[in-house]
Structure 1
């Protein structure tokens, strides 16, 4: 089974959705036959590079909500994460910026065979440790935590070797109808929008598995049954 997840690294529902998927997979009977592929989706590519702003400031400008409303909204996500064992999970106290370079870093790490490790690292750094994931130096330092060579990472990001891959991921999601993230596609057949809870996600995984692996029944037993021509009477 192939599971593709489009996400942005500063999207709080994406980090929580990733955690919920892992919880669902831990209970999934066929988890050893599942491949999880993370894909990039920038929610706002127009965000200026080279600077960050507080999450509260960004949300106020985009939504027009009051500080109290924003505080309640971000606290709700943090409380849900904590209740599901994901703690710390800082949403409201973070800064936000352009995530293009972070996605290029993730593509580079994938090329180096560290796909899941890099995605877990960036989610943990941003939401778990409130670290910046926006600058070249930020990402080079993070890469060293999972064994990436600092000089090689710096060259790859400076040369923007993986920019096209990041843009291709986003374009693919839009072709599939995604307008937000997280957006999950299972076996190229089932599309799931939003951070579904673990129980719901587990049910979807089982449904997709059963659809791809229909049960072949072997007839056993006697002939005491009815058909179009009547009912058989055993001798």
Structure 2
């Protein structure tokens, strides 16, 4: 059974949903027969590469709230993450273009370390406050997760995997995923958002039962 997860590495709900899903998978009887594949979804693919913006300022402008309200929303998200065993440090966090990060996630898929690289990118951004928009930092992060740093640099210096990222963005739109995280099981079941672990567990059981009926 294949589970495809559309996500962006700077999406706080994506990291939370990832953890909820993983806990459901841990308790799934047939977990050894489940393949998990991460698909690219950029929250803002039009954002200029090389530029960043303060997350609180961005939220305030996007949702028509004050900066103080945006900061409070970030605090609430930190509390949600803590309840799932994650440590978010959102104060001073900046947002930017994640194309390069997604290209390295594709490389990681080729090398069999995609899950480790995705986890490393999430942790680097949300917990450690490392800039996942800086190529040198990106190389360090993915190397720590098992990718060859020289190969990672080579990919970043080229346009490799950019078309794959774009194709996955289009695929998300085609299946109706206008936001992330979005989970697709065997291209038959879709789960939108950072649903509770229990919800993911129910969908896994149902999908397995239907596939083996």
State the TM bucket, normalised to the shorter chain.
over 0.9
Within a 5 Å distance, the mapping from 1:118-129 to structure 2 comes to: 118-129=117-128
Task: Give the superposition deviation at 1:73.
Answer: 1.7
Task: Give the superposition deviation at 1:123.
Answer: 0.7
Within a 5 Å distance, the mapping from 1:1-235 to structure 2 comes to: 1-86=1-86, 88-214=87-213
Q: 1:115 to 1:62 in 2, by over 3 A?
A: same
User: Once structures 1 and 2 are overlaid, which stretch shifts more, 40-49 or 105-114?
Assistant: 105-114
Task: Give the superposition deviation at 1:22.
Answer: 0.6
Gaps of 5+ in 1: 215-235
Q: TM-score, normalised by structure 2?
A: 0.95
Gaps of 5+ in 2: none
Distance 2:189 2:93 in 1: 33
Distance 1:153 1:111 in 2: 12
Conserved in 2, the CA contact under 8 Å of 1:12 and 1:91? no
Task: Give the superposition deviation at 1:130.
Answer: 1.2
**SS of residue in 1 equivalent to 2:190:** strand
The CA RMSD measured in Å over matched residues stands at: 1.3
**SS of residue in 2 equivalent to 1:102:** helix
Conserved in 1, the CA contact under 8 Å of 2:10 and 2:95? yes
Higher helix residue share: 2
- Greater Rg, structure 1 or structure 2? 1
Q: 1:190 to 1:92 in 2, by over 3 A?
A: farther
